């Protein structure tokens, strides 16, 4: 490969990374339906035409963001499992729950996951959301040895936590919040 082609590819990869960094912030703030590709292109400092060279459409860009968040979740889970003090499924699941809380403390990741659920009726996005859940469930099953019930409880608690965080209720000291936090 020529040096010019390598430089162009690197530039395209760098631009794609820049778009992902800016798109995650824009979509997290305004959601899938409230964010235009023009908003993303402008924030990334590129033309809308160049954005479409990197991602064929808004759906593909948002699906790539969901995949990006899925990768963040998977990497955090793998790091947590590697550091686990025990291979007991309950211990691993508890450590994973703590790790998950750390990941979604990044409001951008949290909101992309929430907006992804809300936009799942868009076929490409729905497929990205289902793939994200499938990957997370199967990784946690393999890494923890947990039962289906333990995994269901883990995900139920995580999704409820997402709602509380997104609604700004996680830190409220109200009886209903204490009940839901457990």
Q: What is the pLDDT of residues 86-121, one digit of tens each?
A: 999 999 999 999 999 999 999 999 999 999 999 999
Domain count, the chain: 1
Q: What is the pLDDT of residues 39-63, one digit of tens each?
A: 999 999 899 999 999 999 999 999 9
Average pLDDT over residues 4-31: 81
Banded model confidence at residue 11, pLDDT cuts 50, 70, 90: confident
96: CATH: 1.10.357.10
- Domain containing residue 67: 3-181
* Averaged pLDDT score across all residues of the chain: 92
Q: How far is CA 166 from CA 28, 91, 105, 109, 115, in A?
A: 11, 27, 10, 11, 10
Percentage of the chain surpassing pLDDT 90?
85
Banded model confidence at residue 142, pLDDT cuts 50, 70, 90: very high
Whether residue 8 is predicted with pLDDT greater than 90 in this model: the reply is: no
**Amino acid 17: pLDDT:** 87
User: What pTM does this model have?
Assistant: 0.89
Which of 158, 159, 140 lies closest to 89, judged by CA? Answer: 140
């Amino acid at each position: 490969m020529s040096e010019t082609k390598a430089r162009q590819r690197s530039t395209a990869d760098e631009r794609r990374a820049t778009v992902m960094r800016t798109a995650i912030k824009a979509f997290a703030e305004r959601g899938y339906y409230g964010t235009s590709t023009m908003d993303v292109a402008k924030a990334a400092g590129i033309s809308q035409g160049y954005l479409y060279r990197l991602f064929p459409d808004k759906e593909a860009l948002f699906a790539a963001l969901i995949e990006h968040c899925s990768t963040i979740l998977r990497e955090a889970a793998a790091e947590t499992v590697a550091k686990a003090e025990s291979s007991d499924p309950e211990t691993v699941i508890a450590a994973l729950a703590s790790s998950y809380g750390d990941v979604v403390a990044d409001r951008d990741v949290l909101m992309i996951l929430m907006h992804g659920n809300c936009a799942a009726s868009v076929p490409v996005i729905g497929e990205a959301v289902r793939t994200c859940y499938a990957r997370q469930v199967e990784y946690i099953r393999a890494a923890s040895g947990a039962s289906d019930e333990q995994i269901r409880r883990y995900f139920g608690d995580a999704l409820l936590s997402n709602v509380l965080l997104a609604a700004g209720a996680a830190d409220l000291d109200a009886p209903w919040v204490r009940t839901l936090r457990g």
